[in-house]
Structure formats: structure tokens, C-alpha cells
Amino acid sequence: MEHRRQIIPSRRLPVARRIAGIVTAGLLVVGPFRITRAQEAPPAQPPSPYIGADACKACHSGIYDAWAKTKHARAITRLSADDRGSGSCIGCHATGTPDQLRQEGGNPSFPGVQCEACHGPARAHAAAEAATPPVKSGLNKQPQTGVCERCHSSKSPHFQGFVYRAMVGLVHATGK
């Protein structure tokens, strides 16, 4: 008589088959979708090169105080809520990069025509001045006519002409 070995099913086999069935079904459902590892956070945006007039005040208080009394300091108040959000006017009534102003919409971080709108972004200047000894950086101490004419031009709905030499003294006092 031939002896055959009889295989006795394991009690675990039905559970293993169920698990295999669940995994297979899951793969069939998820299969059409691309499985990727968790998305990494987007790289942090570099800080704006602009730091605002309040940062300038620490070293240039006389100029800041004179500027604070000018129309440049209050330029944002001339815009309606619609004009602030439209993007076409905000660039001449607030200070910052075009991308920054677009992202901030009608609530800019640096409202008004602040120091950096005319003299250039000051983050590097402030960092260089804080060094010992201070290092002069790339700010434009005496902006040329073209800087003013970016806004004081026919693109403004209220433009009535602009004479740089006549207007430059109205911006702020000179000195440190």
C-alpha cells in the first residue's frame, strides 16, 4: 500500500487567505493612482529684501520724522479698497517687490511710498551697517529722476506734470 502524505490545512490558512485577498483588493483599487511618498514642504521663501521705514528710523530718525509728514507716507490712503486690490495702482502707493505686493493684495506690509521705494531694498544695507565696522551697501542715496517717474507719470490717473528738481525737496529733510 502506498503511503501518501496527507497535508492537513493549517488553521491559519483561512486568515492568511483573507489578508491576501484584502491586500489584493486594495492594490486593485489603488493601482490606478500614483502612490508617492509624502510631499515635502515647499522650500521656504527667502525673506523680502525690503524691511520697511520703521527699520530705517533707528539710524535715520530725522529723515524718518520728516518723511512721516509727507504725502509719500500716506500714499496708500489715496487708494480705494478696489484700487488696493486691483494690482495696477498698489505698486506706486506701497513698498515691496511686485510679487510681494501681489501676494499681500490690499493689505501691504509696507504701506505708503517708504524709504526703500526710492532708495532701494534695505535688508542688505541694515545687515551691513550692523557689522563691525559698518560696511556700505548698495542703497541709492540720491535717486535720479527715473526712479520718481516710474509713478509720477502719465500712467497715474491724477498726473499733472512732474519736475524733479522742484519736488525732490518735498520728500524729506537731508542728513543722517
**Residue-wise pLDDT tens digits, 130-165:** 877 776 777 888 888 999 999 999 988 888 888 888
- Give the C-alpha separation, 156 to 148, whole Å: 12
Q: Which of 61-65, 77-81, 119-123, 162-166 has the lowest mean pLDDT?
A: 162-166
For residue 129, is pLDDT > 90? Answer: no
- Give the C-alpha separation, 50 to 110, whole Å: 9
pLDDT at 5: 59
| Mean pLDDT of the region 110-120 | 95
C-alpha distance from residue 35 to each of 20, 21, 32 (Å): 20, 20, 9
Contact yes or no for 33/147 (Cβ under 8 A):
no
pLDDT at 16: 64
Candidates 62, 114, 68; CA nearest to 93 is 114
